[in-house]
A and B are shown apart, each in its own frame.
Chain A
């Protein structure tokens, strides 16, 4: 089983739609979780950290479910500019400095 698994997509949604991505992680001891965004082979950029109680940043909501070992990202009122690949990132327990990246979920928002 991969350490971090994501549905690769692609997800094609119309502008204004709500879209959700899930990501599962294998190690129950993981403590740090992030969503990164990557545009067309450019560098990944932090979208948001994921906190235990869930957190929101504008149109983006991240949730953590420790019991089921998954994190989710919800995008409301999607914009054309949201088209990108979304990477799920989880720390590797026992090595506080190391992060494991999922292979990403591709989103295309259509006009």
Chain B
């Protein structure tokens, strides 16, 4: 089954404790992206990757890191999480062209205390 898998689905943690949210897709998509969703603000892009070893900042990259060592995986790293990073996070992937639909993971709800 074609899918984007995120883990964990839910996480409550404390300020400053490094965490990684994993994202994996099995569709051989070149493009992968991370978004956060906050009430009234919609989905905002954090980072995206157009292919292996090619990553770029989105609209709200501060406080986040990503890597793309393999085509299928695109982890999101919070080196020193802060309460303003409490949010609902989505990973997405699609084939290269912008006019193609994105496939989203189920989402990860992070609470930083």
**B101 adjacent to A96 (CB under 8 Å):** no
Q: With A41-B107, A87-B42 as known contacts, state yes or no: A96 contacts B98, CB within 8 Å.
A: yes
Of A56-64, A72-80, A101-109, which binds chain B? A101-109
Known: A41-B88, A42-B106, A43-B104. A91 touches B42 (CB 8 A): no
* Least CB separation from A2: chain B residue: B42
Check A104 against B107 for contact (C-beta < 8 Å).
Answer: no
Most chain B CB neighbours (cut-off 10 Å) among A91, A97, A103: A97
Known contacts A49-B99, A97-B50, A98-B45; decide if A43 and B90 are in contact (CB<8 Å). Answer: yes
Q: Is A32 in contact with chain B by the CB < 8 A criterion?
A: yes
Contact indicator A43/B43 (Cβ below 8 Å): no
Residue of A nearest to B30 (CB): A97
Counting contact residues on chain B (CB < 8 A from A), the size range is 20 to 34
| Docked complex Cα distance between A96 and B30 (Å) | 13
* Known contacts A91-B98, A97-B50; is-contact A44 B90 (Cβ 8 Å): yes
Q: Which of A34, A97, A103 contacts B42 (CB 8 A)?
A: A103
Confirm or deny: A66 has a beta carbon within 8 angstroms of a beta carbon on chain B. no
CA distance A32 to B44 in the complex (A): 18
Nearest-Cβ distance from residue A66 to partner chain B, whole angstroms: 16
B58 with A44: CB separation less than 8 A: no
A98 touches B102 (CB 8 A): no
Residues of B within 8 A of A (CB): 31, 35, 40-45, 48, 50, 58, 88, 90, 96-99, 101-102, 104-107
Residues of chain A whose beta carbon lies under 8 Å from any beta carbon of chain B: 4, 8, 31-32, 34, 41-46, 49, 87, 91, 96-104
